[in-house]
């Protein structure tokens, strides 16, 4: 998504929305990157705009505590969709309603309807999701001081990768009160290999056997 012209040594942040919201990091010890897990996806969602406050209140009535996983996941994508439908009163065409009810993976229905049919409510859903993705990516990078880069993976980003406006995402990502300079130097990558988990496990096993 963005390269600053060089590879910087430092911690790496990993953000992976899919069935849930995976957040992890890799600690740079001076020689190697050491992976570690977090439960950052369960930290509380924080709204910024008036519309986001409405969205937060909508989710609070459902969940009580609103985590980022309630926003950036398959369930989160549908939460955005139904907020736009039920609260903001964006039209849901009959054909789309039926398709969402019939299909097992409503995430792909929403994404396909946005990218191919250009259905307004689906386009707004994806754009809102991407804005929130940039926001949480920003937070994770700052919390881990991930000067070594940001890696975005997961099923949803892979599904919507062709829809993401890289410049718009980058501009949203670097918004900060005081840390814009740090954020501007962070390389941002999309992880497109869906077998990364298996490859990582295989590498880990081979490394320890040897």
If we measure between CA atoms, which residue out of 13, 79, 18 comes closest to residue 45?
Answer: 79
Contact 153, 34 (CB under 8 A): no
pLDDT of 133-153, one tens digit each? Answer: 999 999 999 999 999 999 999
Please state the domain count of the chain. 1
Give a yes or no: residue 5 inside a domain.
no
Give a yes or no: residue 162 inside a domain.
yes
5: left (phi over 0), alpha (psi -120 to 50) or beta: left
Contact 75, 49 (CB under 8 A): no
Residue 208 has pLDDT above 80, yes or no: no
Of the chain, the percentage scoring pLDDT greater than 70 comes to 99
Which residue has tokens 């410049």? 167
Give a yes or no: residue 7 inside a domain.
no
Identify the pLDDT of residue 143: 97
Q: Find the radius of gyration of the CA atoms of the chain.
A: 18
Give a yes or no: residue 1 inside a domain.
no
Average confidence (pLDDT) over 179-206: 90
Give a yes or no: residue 157 inside a domain.
yes
Give a yes or no: residue 88 inside a domain.
yes
Give a yes or no: residue 39 inside a domain.
yes
pLDDT of 171-188, one tens digit each? Answer: 999 999 999 999 999 999
Residue 210 has pLDDT above 60, yes or no: no
Residue 127 has pLDDT above 90, yes or no: yes
CATH code of residue 180: 3.40.367.20
Give a yes or no: residue 4 inside a domain.
no
Who wins on pLDDT, 200 or 145? 145
Who wins on pLDDT, 186 or 116? 186
Identify the pLDDT of residue 105: 86
Identify the pLDDT of residue 1: 86
Identify the pLDDT of residue 209: 67
Q: Which domain holds residue 175?
A: 12-209
pLDDT of 46-102, one tens digit each? Answer: 999 999 999 999 999 999 999 999 999 999 999 999 999 999 999 999 999 999 999
Average confidence (pLDDT) over 154-170: 91
């Amino acid at each position: 998504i963005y390269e600053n012209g060089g590879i910087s040594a430092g911690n790496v942040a990993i953000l992976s929305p899919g069935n849930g919201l995976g957040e992890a990091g890799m600690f740079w010890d001076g020689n190697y990157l050491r992976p570690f897990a977090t439960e950052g996806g369960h930290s509380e969602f924080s709204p910024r705009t008036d519309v986001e406050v409405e969205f937060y209140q909508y989710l609070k009535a459902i969940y009580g505590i609103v985590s980022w996983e309630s926003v950036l996941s398959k369930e989160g994508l549908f939460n955005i969709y139904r907020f736009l439908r039920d609260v903001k009163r964006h039209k849901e065409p009959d054909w789309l309603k039926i398709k969402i009810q019939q299909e097992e993976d409503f995430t792909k229905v929403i994404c396909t309807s946005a990218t191919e049919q250009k259905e307004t409510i689906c386009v707004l859903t994806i754009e809102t999701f991407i804005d929130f993705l940039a926001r949480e990516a920003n937070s994770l990078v700052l919390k881990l001081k991930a000067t070594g880069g940001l890696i975005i993976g997961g099923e949803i980003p892979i599904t919507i990768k062709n829809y993401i406006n890289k410049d718009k995402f980058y501009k949203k990502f670097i918004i900060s009160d005081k840390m814009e300079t740090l954020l501007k130097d962070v390389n941002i990558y999309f992880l497109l290999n869906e077998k990364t988990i298996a490859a990582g496990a295989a590498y880990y096993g081979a490394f320890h056997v040897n």
